[in-house]
Structure 1
């Protein structure tokens, strides 16, 4: 299981920006995983005037998208709110949640961005690097970048670009439903990320990984209080 990483304790935004610049070069943007049996949805919310973070992880069997295991953990926030550095608030608590799982998921689908980020190192990238797990970022709104209009049908997508670089994809998971925004986290190609998100979103706009993690965050499972 994942263990605490030395930069979990980082509290200074300037040093965090510098570390993010180093981490961006560690992101593996090609498929680096074998057959997947499980995928996990990862979500982080904040409570008590943003002083408490709640990390939820729901592990689903990929074949039928049924929940196999889930955990919710609450801990005090240790890093200030700084746009572009949200991972430094969220990754430490998610690592605790991952360590609480009995089974190690094959891939993480994060409620947040990966390479759709000014330094190409958003939450999904950061978590993928620290945990060592393949990861995908799935966001409900675009953080940065531009894209062309999408066709109306399920599976339609357009690349999201920033400064001429493809940093993600606007993906329509359901016909005539607003797109979601998919990006590489770690150890996966953009095309495989798109394919897996579509596989995990057979009926709704958001993938089942995100939907189940959201259900868990709303109290539909017993949280672990540390």
Structure 2
């Protein structure tokens, strides 16, 4: 597969692939769920995937890839820096996840094709975007209690959900990646965040990629 090397090429790929996003639900409940994250030190990176058991949230598999990004930092095109390493890490797993949870956006993206959508389309796996901050859109403040939700809106369309995962903590921003509906994505994220603001998948992948990058220095 030719990987874009310029922003113009990358935008063309997003425009080409975004029509392939499936916003319907997969019938099965996941057995294994993977968190994906990338840490950077300049152009050096560590791409990590950690697989957890859906019921217990115990770790069952992990993989990390060290490398360098060859794509420039351009807002809205961050996936082109991260996906090559993440795909390689996914390929090293011994356990195939049923759901991917990305530390990034899905449909809540200027071209409705963020990292979660892109990874979902390329892998065919159900994928959710769960980001720490909003990239685009406006929203009301969700209520203060765990499970309170507000719509994230762009051009009078709902592109995601602002989800309070713990009482009186900052919300996170959930959007469809691929093969999942927004209500299901919100339920999944709440299940994966029983104690902390961020899903356990994100916490585990974040820790692994930072640890790998630090160890490589």
| Aligned-partner SS, 2:209 | helix
Alignment-derived partner of residue 162 in structure 2: 170
User: How many residues are treated as equivalent by the alignment?
Assistant: 216
Contact 2:45 2:213 in 1 (8 A): no
Structure 2: segments with no counterpart, 5+ residues: none
Q: Distance in 2 between matches of 1:206 and 1:92?
A: 24
Q: Distance in 1 between matches of 2:186 and 2:154?
A: 19
1:24 has 2:25 as partner: no
Q: Distance in 2 between matches of 1:33 and 1:135?
A: 14
Alignment-derived partner of residue 172 in structure 2: 180
Match of 1:119 among 86, 100, 111: 111
Alignment-derived partner of residue 160 in structure 1: 152
Contact 2:153 2:159 in 1 (8 A): yes
Residues 47-80 of structure 1, C-alpha deviations (whole Å, 9 max, x = no match): 2x2x122100000000010000111111121211
Structure 1: segments with no counterpart, 5+ residues: 1-5
Match of 1:137 among 110, 126, 129: 129
Deviation of residue 218 (structure 1)?
2.8
Could you state the TM-score of these two structures normalised by the residue count of structure 2? 0.95
Match of 2:31 among 22, 37, 42: 37
Regions of 4+ moved over 4 Å? 220-223
Q: Distance in 1 between matches of 2:171 and 2:110?
A: 21
Match of 1:78 among 70, 85, 93: 70
Deviation of residue 32 (structure 1)?
2.3
| Aligned-partner SS, 2:66 | strand
Q: Distance in 2 between matches of 1:143 and 1:76?
A: 25
Q: Distance in 2 between matches of 1:80 and 1:202?
A: 36
